[in-house]
């Protein structure tokens, strides 16, 4: 059994009082970190699925590191559309891992824990497609090899949602552009795939498609609206900070949403 905490979309700015959508972003993250450290069940690791910073500013990453480094557990990061992989490598401390693709500007890697295989993908595309993502073929090939040759229970992390979420503005403007290609690879592993975890949408959602669980987590400071009638972005700022406590078991996956 493996326990981990899923957080995302902290959007830390270059100063401690930086605010976005009318809410300061650093204090909610600090509260989440304190709550994680006080959980009655110690997670095996914490994963942040992207948009650590509001913009790729060194001071923002230093502030984020000051908060995240207080966590007692191993921490892993995914590159978001507001991040740069090079900056995450330079400023944020991570647990043991093995890179899947060479280069400081790509953050795709794997790590293992008690017989489980975790794969982190980097789907940040060129600025011209932002806020969409795109997963390069090199990473899809690595994942295909894992699916074809691997045997361990498998969990995948990325920033962008690969599947539609039932909210027009999200589905038209926020998805992984080649999410269908990723989904087809993952369907082949559904017998041992425990879940695909993502951020970007500032809202906790679960989608079960063709035997694959896709699960997102709310932001630490601001939630997006996601009603089936939402043609335009909507924001719910100033509410509680969100994180998920996830348990991987021999029989499946449990996702428990928490607020601070």
Q: Look up the CATH number of the domain holding residue 86.
A: 3.60.21.10
Nearest in space to 45 (alpha carbons), one of 139, 98, 138, 111: 111
pTM above 0.95, yes or no: yes
What's the pLDDT tens digit per position in 179-231?
Answer: 999 999 999 999 999 999 999 999 999 999 999 999 999 999 999 999 999 99
Distance from C-alpha of 50 to C-alpha of 199, rounded to nearest angstrom = 6
The rounded mean pLDDT for the chain is: 97
Q: Which alpha helices (H) appear in 38-102, and where do they start and end?
A: 58-68, 85-91
Reduced to 3 states (helix: H, G, I; strand: E, B; else coil), residue 212 is strand
- Domain of residue 242 covers 2-259
Question: Does residue 237 carry a pLDDT above 90?
Answer: no
Distance from C-alpha of 210 to C-alpha of 163, rounded to nearest angstrom = 11
What's the pLDDT tens digit per position in 86-132?
Answer: 999 999 999 999 999 999 999 999 999 999 999 999 999 999 999 99
Nearest in space to 244 (alpha carbons), one of 214, 209, 224: 214
Number of domains in the chain: 1
For residue 167 the two structure tokens come to 């909210």
The distance from CA 200 to its chain's CA centroid, rounded to whole angstroms, is: 7
For residue 189 the two structure tokens come to 């592993």
Average pLDDT over residues 140-150: 95
Question: Does residue 238 carry a pLDDT above 90?
Answer: no
pLDDT at 256: 98
Distance from C-alpha of 179 to C-alpha of 134, rounded to nearest angstrom = 8
pLDDT at 244: 98
Model confidence band, residue 171 (pLDDT cutoffs 50, 70, 90):
very high
Cβ atoms of 64 and 10 closer than 8 Å: yes
């Amino acid at each position: 059994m493996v326990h981990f905490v899923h957080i995302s979309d902290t959007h830390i700015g270059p100063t401690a009082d930086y605010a976005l959508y009318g809410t300061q972003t650093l204090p909610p993250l600090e509260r989440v970190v304190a709550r994680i450290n006080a959980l009655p069940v110690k997670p095996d690791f914490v994963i942040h699925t992207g948009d650590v910073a509001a913009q790729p500013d060194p001071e923002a990453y230093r502030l984020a590191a000051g908060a995240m480094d207080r966590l007692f557990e191993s921490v892993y990061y995914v590159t978001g559309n507001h991040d740069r992989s090079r900056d995450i490598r330079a400023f944020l401390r991570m647990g043991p891992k093995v890179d899947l693709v060479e280069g400081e500007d790509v953050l795709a890697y794997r790590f293992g824990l008690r017989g489980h295989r975790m794969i982190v993908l980097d789907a940040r595309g060129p600025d011209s497609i932002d806020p969409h993502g795109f997963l390069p073929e090199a990473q899809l090939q690595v994942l295909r090899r894992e699916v074809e040759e691997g045997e361990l229970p498998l969990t995948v992390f990325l920033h962008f949602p690969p599947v539609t979420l039932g909210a027009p503005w999200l589905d038209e403007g926020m998805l992984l552009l080649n999410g269908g290609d990723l989904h087809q690879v993952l369907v082949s592993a559904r017998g041992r795939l425990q879940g695909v975890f993502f951020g970007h949408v500032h809202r906790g959602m679960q989608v079960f498609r063709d035997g694959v669980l896709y699960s997102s987590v709310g932001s630490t400071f601001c939630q997006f609206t996601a009603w089936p009638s939402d043609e335009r972005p909507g924001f719910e700022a100033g509410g509680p900070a969100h994180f998920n406590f996830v348990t991987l078991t021999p029989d499946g996956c449990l996702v428990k949403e928490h607020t601070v």
